[in-house]
């Protein structure tokens, strides 16, 4: 943990350089972009040293020196080819982070060189296209004029040198990265919250979706609203074969899509296992020309978002088998759910976070929900505490879906009270998470917590899945002894009368400097005498 804390301190020091010049949602783009550049550059130099010496470097400055020397020899071409094949990118010696740092120390930093390094990486492989597009090294946000802008970037480079990204394990770096994203979300609210799912719901979601598939080699995980990719990457924590997981994800926002790509690398995911796309999940189905069904589907889509709901979607295979109805134009919740469910394997599990409204709203949503229930597709509904997410205070739920299972019963879990209050957000700790998972795995009725509803139960409730209809959390009111209550009231009234009499007596003993004050006190006494 000391390693992680040290890394966090360095990253936050980098944030301090930018804080005040721009809001958190902006400076995280610079900070995380430069961290990723350092990671790629340091990894590149480490590979250079390994190819030349058959061992890892203790000092990147030495690796830089050897790289500069070998590039002057006839071996340069062969070395670059090996680097291109293994790393998918190359950097000139003056494009490395170490080279930039040395320039900073010598007051000779040139941001054109840094931009050239960004361009080289982005042009090296399709995998890196547009990766640094949001890192504007010439923005007025960095300061007024070339000198101040360059100085700001130079200072961030100097600070980030304190982070040893090579000897840090991938999960340490990646988890630090996710932690920072969470902190940015707390500062920026909705903007950052769009791509961050808090720890508690994320762990419940992923552990449920992974259950029974932990030992599968070549597991395929899909998130069509991936944000920074954190849900997909959380799944690897519960796999015995994490290096073989293939990740398929789509994200609408280009900047957030780039975050997900960085996050994959920072967690050590091999390029061949990354299948990420920048696009509109609902507008056009994806994927369609490679793997189209997945073992695990995890989702935290934007709640009650708008979508076109065009008539043509009634012929779309994703939405066509649900009573001829589409999710409402102003509430795309079920459109996201059906998209994810369409891409789920027959043997897989899907878990999605949605607002409570999807459980009971009628009209088209009611028809879709009824069809899912008749098919036995909804396996469990878990009510989460309110105020869990950065972008909304409304209560949310996790819906678990499966295909072709035996039975049509639904497990309801009320976890709305399983949280701790921390600052502005409610937080589910490990004890709360473990309790929810035990209730889920036991799959039986527990008073005040769960209810295993039969299909007939659900049908009798007109396919309404509102959790209070099934899980009674009300507390019996304590019986009131009227005789005791009457005695208590009598004693209270007696005490009030005695206090009033004492007050009137004290007021009557007062002397006054003016007749006006005396008259006012007399009127005050009359009020108490009337009581």
What average pLDDT does range 400-415 have in this prediction? 95
**Residues 45, 64: contact at Cβ < 8 Å?**
yes
Question: Which pLDDT score is estimated for 60?
Answer: 94
Residue 201: burial class (beta carbons within 10 Å; 0-12, 13-18, 19+): buried
Label the pairing between strands 220-223 and 246-251. parallel
Find out whether 345 and 293 touch, Cβ atoms under 8 Å: yes
Whether 242 contacts 217, CB under 8 Å: no
Indicate whether 265 belongs to any domain: yes
Mean pLDDT of 155-169: 85
Count how many domains the chain has: 3
Q: Which of 115, 138, 168 is the last residue of a domain?
A: 168
pLDDT tops 70 at residue 172: no
Count of positions (residues) in the chain: 531
CATH number of the domain encompassing residue 449: 3.40.50.150
234, 256: one domain: yes
Average pLDDT of the segment spanning 135-148: 91
137 assigned to some structural domain: yes
The pLDDT, as a whole number, for residue 188 is: 56
Supply the pLDDT for residue 69: 96
Same domain, 225 and 349: yes
Q: What is the mean pLDDT of the chain?
A: 89
Reported confidence tier of residue 76, pLDDT bands at 50, 70, 90? very high
Give CA–CA dist 257/276, Å, rounded.
8
For the chain, what is the total number of helices (H) and then of strands (E)?
Answer: 18, 11
Residue 176 lies in a domain: no
Q: Which residues contact 462 (CB under 8 A, 6 or more apart)?
A: none
Given a cut of 80, whether residue 359 has pLDDT beyond it is yes
* Domain co-membership, 79 together with 205: no
441 shares a domain with 492: no
Tell me, yes or no, whether 257 and 378 share the same domain: yes
447 & 410 share domain: yes
Coil vs helix vs strand at 108 = coil
Q: pLDDT exceeding 70 applies to what percent of the chain?
A: 91
Is there a single domain that holds both residue 414 and residue 511?
A: no
Cα–Cα distance, 105 to 131 (Å, whole number):
27
Same structural domain, 74 and 158: yes
Instruction: Name the residue among 197, 171, 158, 196 with its Cα closest to residue 4.
Output: 171
The tens digit of pLDDT for each residue in 477-505 reads 667 778 888 888 888 888 888 887 787 77
Question: Which pLDDT belongs to residue 158?
Answer: 94
Domain that holds residue 307: 184-312+322-330+337-360+372-469
Q: What's the rounded Cα separation, in Å, for the pair 340 and 350?
A: 8
Q: Are residues 138 and 271 in the same domain?
A: no
Give the C-alpha separation, 250 to 220, whole Å.
Answer: 14
Is 366 inside a domain boundary?
A: no
Closest of 36, 35, 59, 40 to residue 49, by C-alpha: 59
Is 292 within a domain? yes
Q: Which of 420, 446, 469 represents a domain boundary (last residue)? A: 469
Q: 111, 135 in Cβ contact below 8 A?
A: no
Q: In the prediction, which pLDDT does 361 show?
A: 96
C-alpha to C-alpha distance for 304 and 192, rounded to whole angstroms: 18
- The per-residue pLDDT for 476 is 65
Q: Residue 201 to residues 174, 374, 382, 399: CA-CA distances in angstroms?
A: 19, 27, 10, 12
- Are 126 and 247 part of one and the same domain? no
Contacts of 190 (CB under 8 A, 6+ apart): 390, 391
Q: What is the mean pLDDT of residues 303-323?
A: 94
Confidence of residue 253 (pLDDT cuts 50, 70, 90): confident
Q: Are residues 449 and 497 in the same domain?
A: no
Last residue of a domain, one of 419, 448, 469: 469
At 88-110, the pLDDT tens digits run 999 999 999 999 999 999 999 99
Cβ contacts of residue 157 below 8 Å, gap of 6+? 34, 97, 100, 101, 104, 109
Question: Do 412 and 449 form a contact (C-beta atoms < 8 A)?
Answer: no
CA dist., res. 257 & res. 94, Å (int): 29
> Is residue 516 one of the residues assigned to a domain?
yes
Residues 251 and 110 in one domain: no
């Amino acid at each position: 943990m000391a390693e992680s804390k040290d890394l966090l301190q360095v990253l936050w020091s980098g944030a301090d350089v930018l804080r005040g010049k721009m809001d958190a949602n902006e400076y995280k783009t610079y900070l995380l972009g430069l961290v990723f550049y350092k990671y790629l550059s340091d990894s590149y130099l480490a590979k250079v040293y390994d190819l030349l010496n058959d061992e890892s470097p203790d000092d990147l400055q030495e690796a830089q020196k050897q790289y500069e020397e070998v590039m002057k020899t006839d071996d340069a071409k062969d070395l670059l080819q090996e680097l291109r094949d293994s790393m998918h990118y190359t950097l000139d010696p003056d494009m490395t982070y170490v080279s930039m740092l040395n320039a900073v120390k010598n007051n000779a930093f040139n941001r054109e060189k840094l931009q050239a390094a960004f361009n080289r990486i982005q042009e090296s492989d399709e995998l890196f296209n547009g990766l640094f597009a949001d890192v504007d090294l010439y923005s007025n946000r960095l300061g007024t004029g070339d000198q101040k802008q360059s100085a700001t970037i130079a200072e961030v480079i100097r600070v980030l040198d304190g982070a040893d990204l090579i000897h840090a394990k991938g999960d340490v770096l990646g988890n630090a990265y996710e932690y920072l994203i969470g902190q940015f979300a707390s500062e920026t609210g909705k903007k950052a919250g769009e791509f961050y799912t808090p720890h508690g719901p994320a762990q419940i979601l992923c552990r449920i979706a992974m259950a029974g598939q932990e030992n599968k080699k070549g597991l395929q995980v899909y998130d069509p609203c991936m944000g920074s990719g954190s849900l997909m990457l959380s799944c690897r924590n519960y796999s015995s074969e994490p290096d073989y997981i293939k990740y398929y994800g789509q994200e609408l926002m280009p900047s957030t899509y780039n975050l997900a790509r960085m996050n994959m690398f920072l967690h050590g995911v091999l390029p061949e296992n990354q299948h990420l796309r920048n696009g509109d999940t609902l507008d056009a189905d994806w994927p369609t020309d490679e793997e189209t069904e997945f073992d695990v589907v995890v989702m935290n889509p934007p709640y009650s978002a708008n979508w076109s709901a065009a008539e043509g979607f009634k012929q779309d295979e994703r939405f066509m088998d649900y009573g001829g109805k589409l999710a409402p134009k102003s509430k795309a919740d079920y459109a996201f759910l059906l998209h994810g469910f369409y891409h789920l394997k027959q043997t897989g599990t899907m878990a999605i976070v949605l607002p409570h409204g999807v459980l009971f709203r009628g009209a088209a949503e009611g028809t879709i929900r009824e069809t899912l229930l008749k098919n036995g597709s909804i396996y469990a509904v878990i009510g989460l505490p309110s105020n869990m997410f950065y972008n909304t205070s409304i209560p949310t739920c996790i819906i678990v879906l499966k295909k072709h299972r035996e039975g049509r019963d639904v497990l309801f879990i009320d976890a709305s009270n399983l949280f701790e209050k921390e600052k502005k957000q409610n937080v589910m700790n490990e004890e709360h998470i473990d309790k929810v998972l035990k209730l889920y795995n036991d799959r039986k009725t527990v008073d005040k917590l769960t209810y295993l509803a039969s299909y007939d139960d659900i049908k009798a409730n007109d396919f309404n899945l509102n959790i209070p209809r099934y899980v009674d959390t009300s507390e019996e009111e304590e019986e009131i002894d009227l005789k005791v209550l009457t005695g208590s009231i009598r004693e209270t009234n007696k005490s009030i009368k005695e206090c009033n009499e004492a007050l009137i007596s004290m007021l009557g003993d007062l002397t006054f400097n003016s007749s006006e004050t005396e008259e006012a006190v007399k009127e005050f006494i009359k009020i108490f005498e009337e009581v």
